[in-house]
Structures are given as C-alpha cells and as structure tokens.
Amino acid sequence: MMFNSRNIIIGLIIFVGIFTFPFVLSAGKANEAPKLSLDTPVINELGTEECLLDTEYMRSNHMQLLADWKVEVVRNGNRVFVNDEGREFNMSLQNTCLECHSNKEEFCDACHTYAEVDPNCWDCHVAPEVVK
Ligand code: HEC
Ligand code: HEC
Ligand code: HEC
C-alpha cells in the first residue's frame, strides 16, 4: 500500500515537472521587461540622469501626474509644475515629457506595448517625429 501510493506521488511529481518544464523556460522570456532607451538629444545634452521626480515614482505614477497636469492646465490655467527640488517645468505632455523622451517609440510605446496599454493621448496631442 505505502509503496504503491508513494510511487504514484513520485510519478506525479515527475509528470508535472516534465509537463511544465517548457512553460517555466519560456515564462522568463515572455516576462522580460523591455529595455528602455534614454538616448535622446535633449537627455544627452542636459546630461541628466533624472526624471522630473523619482524614477520609481514616475514608473508607477506618471499616468496620474499627467492627468493632474491636464486638470491644472485646462481647468485651473496653471502651467507651471515645481518638482521636489524646486525646479520648474511647463506642464505639457508634448513640450516637456516628450521633449526629453523624444524617442517615444523606444520609450513610452515600448513599455506600453509590453504592458498592453494604449493611451489615446496621441489622437490629439502631437507625438514627436522619430529621432534616431
Ligand atoms: C529633463 C528630462 C526629462 C523630462 C522632462 C521627463 N523625463 Fe522621464 N525620465 C528622464 C530620465 C533621464 C529618466 C531615467 C531616470 C533613471 O534612469 O533613473 C526618466 C525616467 C522616466 C520613467 C521611468 C522609466 C523606467 O525606467 O521605468 C518614466 C515612466 C518617465 N520618465 C516618464 C516621463 C513623463 C510621463 C514625463 C512628463 C510628465 C517625463 N518623463 C519627463 C528624463 C526626463
Ligand atoms: C516603465 C514602463 C512605462 C514607461 C516607460 C511609460 N509608461 Fe505610460 N504606462 C505604463 C503602464 C504600465 C500604464 C498602465 C497603468 C495602469 O493602467 O494603471 C501606463 C499608462 C499610461 C497612461 C494612462 C493611459 C490611460 O489610458 O489611462 C499615460 C497617459 C501614459 N502611460 C503616458 C506615458 C508617456 C507619455 C510615456 C513616455 C514619456 C510613458 N507613459 C512611459 C508604463 C509605462
Ligand atoms: C480629444 C482630444 C484630446 C485627447 C484624446 C487628449 N487630450 Fe490632452 N489636451 C487636449 C486639449 C485640447 C488640451 C488643451 C491644450 C492647451 O491648453 O495647451 C489638452 C491639454 C493637456 C495637457 C496640458 C497641456 C499640454 O500641452 O500638455 C496635458 C498634460 C494633457 N492634455 C494630457 C493628456 C493625456 C495624458 C492624454 C491621454 C491619456 C490626453 N491628454 C488626451 C486634448 C486632448
């Protein structure tokens, strides 16, 4: 009795292992985050390695920041954003974000394609011309 059920369990473990092996292998590749290029004329010229706000914060909150900017500009008529270090920026999707990140395709789009999000902003806002 004992012997049999143990063999069944070992057999099951081996079966599950063999069966899931290819998925385990490909999972790593499918989940690999895109490489984001920061190689743009403005970022290179500024010699900056920083975004407006902390990178980690930007990664998870840029959508909210942009939504807030839109409200500030369109509803409150305020166009000046002051960051944590007291630096001022024009609250503009195309003239601020995309001035630095002018490689939209290799930056914003690369990440959005990976995350399967498709912001509709560029139905109205002008995307930069592809700069190489
Ligand atoms: C002054 C140039 C500049 C401006 C303006 C700017 N960025 Fe950035 N941004 C950078 C740089 C440089 C990095 C890389 C920071 C790092 O690697 O730590 C970055 C990083 C990011 C990241 C994180 C990328 C990652 O590695 O996950 C996001 C998202 C982002 N920016 C979005 C935006 C958005 C949206 C705006 C406008 C609201 C904006 N940026 C404005 C220069 C800029
Ligand atoms: C590190 C990855 C990453 C980078 C780089 C990135 N995004 Fe995003 N973005 C996301 C993710 C993930 C979401 C969806 C978040 C959610 O649904 O909560 C998103 C959502 C958005 C949204 C909201 C879309 C909607 O319909 O609600 C906007 C706007 C946006 N991103 C703009 C930008 C812009 C502009 C850039 C380039 C300057 C950029 N993003 C770069 C990952 C990124
Ligand atoms: C239906 C057209 C339309 C769409 C779609 C749209 N916007 Fe706008 N947006 C406007 C108009 C019009 C203004 C006002 C322009 C001004 O006063 O400078 C504006 C202003 C803004 C501003 C402040 C001013 C500026 O130059 O950027 C931000 C930030 C902004 N929108 C972000 C977004 C984001 C992020 C998305 C996508 C999630 C988006 N918008 C989608 C039409 C649109």
Same domain, 18 and 62: no
CA distance 77 to 90: 12
State in Å: Cα 126 to ligand 3 middle: 10
- Does residue 92 sit in the same domain as residue 49? yes
Number of domains in the chain: 2
The CB of 112 under 6 Å from ligand 2? The reply is yes
Q: How far is the CA of 108 from the centre of ligand 3 (A)?
A: 16
Whether residue 67 has its Cβ less than 6 Å from ligand 2: no
Residue 87 sits at the vertex; the CA angle it makes with 91 and 50, to the nearest 5 degrees, is: 90
- 38, 19: one domain: no
Q: Ligand 3 in contact with 124 (CB < 6 A)?
A: yes
Query: Are 22 and 49 contained in the same domain?
Result: no
| Distance from C-alpha of 59 to C-alpha of 75, rounded to nearest angstrom | 26
Nearest to 96 by CA among 86, 81, 110: 81
Residues 64 and 38 in one domain: yes
| Residues 5 and 65 placed together within one structural domain of the fold | no
Q: Any residues with CB less than 8 A from the CB of 71 and at least 6 apart, and which?
A: none
The CA distance from 111 to 93, in Å, is 17
Q: Mean pLDDT of all residues in the chain?
A: 85
Let me know: does 40 contact 103? Beta carbons within 8 Å: yes
pLDDT digits (tens, 9 = 90+) for 58-110: 999 999 999 999 999 999 999 999 999 999 999 999 999 999 999 999 999 99
CA 75 / ligand 2 centre spacing (Å): 22
* In a shared domain, residues 19 and 53: no
> Same structural domain for residues 108 and 59?
yes
Say yes or no: 67 and 89 in one domain: yes
* Pocket lining: 108 vs ligand 2, CB cutoff 6 Å: yes
Considering the domain architecture, whether residues 25 and 79 belong to the same structural domain is answered as no
Decide: 132 and 72 in contact? Cβ < 8 Å. Answer: no
Residues 4 and 53 in one domain: no
Kindly report the length of the chain. Answer: 132
Q: 122: domain range?
A: 34-132
- Please return the burial class of 53, using the count of CB atoms within 10 Å of its CB with bins 0-12, 13-18 and 19+: middle
Are residues 101 and 50 in contact, defined by beta-carbon separation less than 8 angstroms? no
**pLDDT surpassing 80 at residue 1:** no
Closest atom, ligand 2, to C-alpha of 100? 38
Q: How far is the CA of 112 from the centre of ligand 2 (A)?
A: 6
Q: Clarify whether residues 41 and 89 are in a common domain.
A: yes
State the pLDDT confidence band at 132, using cuts at 50, 70 and 90: very low
In this prediction, residue 31 has a pLDDT band, given cuts at 50, 70 and 90, of low
Q: Looking at the predicted structure, is the pLDDT value of residue 129 above 80? A: no
